[in-house]
Structure 1
Amino acid sequence: MENLENTIVQSKSILSIQSHVVHGYVGNKASTFPLQMLDWDVDVLNTVNFSNHTGYGDLKGVCSTGDELINIYKGLKQIDIKYDAVLTGYVHGFDTLEAVGKICLDIRNRGKRNGNQVTWLLDPVMGDEGVLYVEKNVIPIYRQILDSQQVDIATPNQYELELLLDCKIVCIESLKQALKLFHDKYKVKHIVLSSLFAELFEDLDGGPETIYCCVSSLDILDHIVFYRIDKIPGYFTGVGDMFSALLLDRLIKSQDIIISVNEVLTVMKNVLTVTKELGKTSGKIGDKNMKDCELRVIECKNFYEKHNAVYDPIYIKRTL
């Protein structure tokens, strides 16, 4: 028994509040298994319950209301469930998002009263490449949640950062200004922009096949950090959901945002490469062949705990 105890890793607990699909891998389906493989005890609270993700063009299912989520959370409180972290992703409407904000703030406050720091990663899933795919009235609710100054890590893409700050990002200087405003206004410690498109910038190298990930952290006051990424051709969903889950795990364990992001980007590169190699067709939005583009979450199980880092960080001074 003594030898067995020495080999057991004590799990941490997390509440993941995201979408759910019966078939496929987005939201909680893309996050739960990788987190479990990394020794997390994952509780899931589903903001929608769909047959499949929207990329298929057809789906059946229901969206959770704010009252339904609050009621479920009350049940968790009654049995005194505590968490080390909360992860929030896709929420479709303003009343549901308001409920998610209340739940996460209550978890944070309960943790503080018990002397436990609960880490909150907020992925403000609203749209991408200029296309909004949630109700427009969620934008001010995200701003209200961020105004609480209780979010530790935010992982918007370029378009979502623009929506939150009501500004346009067209160059590195405008990006610096946006990141500074976000830090100053919302006191978020780590901002990880999951995708910046080189073709939309005046001064980023690369064309349509090049994206960048950008890290801005209060732990690194003099620089922001870029990672240049060659796009893997194809249409993939759930990428941001898995990215955020893996990032939360890495950062809590290492406390090093630069290493954490590099390792997670490397994992995602491997996952997308395997997904593309095993897929038989090239799916696109509204295509029934989308099932071949689902992330190979199970087949990639051996990647999640790897600490490889293949990207070279590019350090850019915050001020000239």
Structure 2
Amino acid sequence: MTSQDIIVRSTSVLSIQSHVVHGYVGNKASTFPLQMLNWDVDVLNTVNFSNHTGYGFLKGECATGEQLLEIYNGLKQINVQYNAILTGYVHGFDTLEAVGKICTDIKDRANSTNKEVVWLLDPVMGDEGVLYVEKDVIPVYRKILGTQKVDIVTPNQYELELLVDQKITCLRTLKKALQLFHENYNVKHIVLSSLFAEFFEDLEGGKETIYCCVSSIGIPEKLAFFRIEKISGYFTGVGDMFSALLLDRITKTGDIIVSVSEVLTIMKNVLTTTKKLGGALGKIGNKNMKDCELRVIECRQFYDHHHSHYDPIFIDN
């Protein structure tokens, strides 16, 4: 028997995110990379838009909570089961409440049969002080996290501030926010996707540097930082692909530091390729926004790479 004759059974995931017909954000940025990594992806769309909001114009509609629950009940009736859940952009209060009910039910059903389901939640709410969703989703996220069923969360700095209701300006306030998050929600791994050095009192690098930070119950005494030099340009769907790849890596390696390092390396390759092929010079509402779409198909050779170009910097917690 050759290696080509060996069939590896796929792993199943329910991905609950936005959908756009054109472009790569939400489920469109997550599904293909996961499929390339041997995931069987069931897609539940929270919105159905012609394109993402960066174009300054779109057509389509948002799903209601009732619609999502109806679809999920259909999945339950045919006894669909999952190894993992990935949740991203949810626009409004009632829809997010439905997502919480769906994911909690999946976790409870698995627990009743002694099976494990990994839930990675990306609380997509905004960035750099700008809120993308209705304000009343913030307490719903807190309620969902309060169930203590979420395993991994991937907020940016602004989203972490919203969830713990604290401003982060330095390492001291960051550590306080992360400690509060762990205490309140018992999440195994917090992966802060972006901290901007220029807005920190004590992070080196200035405006050309961002950091990714990992806080894990598995290594409570230290925080791990990854220093990343910015790639100039405007990109969309980056966080959605990052979260999908992280879900893949953590379920396969069990090591959050190795997983983040590998995913950051892949994302660097994706962004570099996207810039090379399209320029990534568009701006919000600009006709050149198409150039900012991730080259998801062209980058397929990167998704299974296990190189690590980023070494963790450990700081005492």
TM range (shorter): over 0.9
* 1:8 to partner: Cα distance: 1.0
- Does 2:14 correspond to 1:15? yes
Counterpart of 1:54 in structure 2 is 53
Counterpart of 1:229 in structure 2 is 228
| Structure 2 CA distance for aligned equivalents of residues 198 and 221 of structure 1 | 23
Counterpart amino acid of residue 72 in structure 2: Y
The runs of 4+ residues in structure 1 deviating greater than 4 Å are: 2-6
Which 5+ residue runs of structure 2 have no aligned equivalent? Answer: none
1:58-69 correspondence runs (5 A): 58-69=57-68
Counterpart of 2:183 in structure 1 is 184
| Structure 1 CA distance for aligned equivalents of residues 253 and 159 of structure 2 | 27
Which 5+ residue runs of structure 1 have no aligned equivalent? Answer: none
Q: How many residues align?
A: 317
Q: In the TM superposition, what whole-angstrom CA distance separates every residue of 1:244-268 from its partner, at most 9, and x where no partner exists? A: 0000000000000000000000000
Give the secondary structure class of the aligned counterpart of 2:269.
helix
Counterpart of 1:212 in structure 2 is 211
* 1:144 to partner: Cα distance: 0.2
Counterpart of 1:118 in structure 2 is 117
* 44-53 or 275-284, larger mean C-alpha shift: 275-284
| Structure 1 CA distance for aligned equivalents of residues 126 and 279 of structure 2 | 27
Counterpart of 1:296 in structure 2 is 295
The answer on whether the counterparts of 2:88 and 2:122 sit within 8 Å (CA) in structure 1 is: yes
Q: In the TM superposition, what whole-angstrom CA distance separates every residue of 1:262-320 from its partner, at most 9, and x where no partner exists? A: 000000000000000001461011012111110000000000000000012100001xx
Counterpart of 2:247 in structure 1 is 248
Counterpart of 2:261 in structure 1 is 262
* 1:189 to partner: Cα distance: 0.2
| Structure 1 CA distance for aligned equivalents of residues 202 and 280 of structure 2 | 35
Counterpart of 1:165 in structure 2 is 164
Counterpart amino acid of residue 271 in structure 1: V
TM-score for the superposition, normalised by structure 1: 0.98
Counterpart of 2:25 in structure 1 is 26
Q: In the TM superposition, what whole-angstrom CA distance separates every residue of 1:93-120 from its partner, at most 9, and x where no partner exists? A: 0000000000000000011112210000
1:100-139 correspondence runs (5 A): 100-139=99-138
Identity of aligned residues (%): 72
Give the secondary structure class of the aligned counterpart of 2:47.
strand
Counterpart amino acid of residue 291 in structure 2: D
Counterpart amino acid of residue 147 in structure 1: G
| Structure 1 CA distance for aligned equivalents of residues 220 and 182 of structure 2 | 11
Counterpart of 1:312 in structure 2 is 311
| Structure 1 CA distance for aligned equivalents of residues 211 and 3 of structure 2 | 44
| Structure 2 CA distance for aligned equivalents of residues 210 and 153 of structure 1 | 24
Indicate how the Cα distance of structure 1 residues 80 and 227 shifts in structure 2: closer, same or farther if over 3 A, else same: same
* 1:60 to partner: Cα distance: 0.3
Give the secondary structure class of the aligned counterpart of 1:141.
helix
- Does 2:201 correspond to 1:202? yes
Counterpart amino acid of residue 240 in structure 1: G
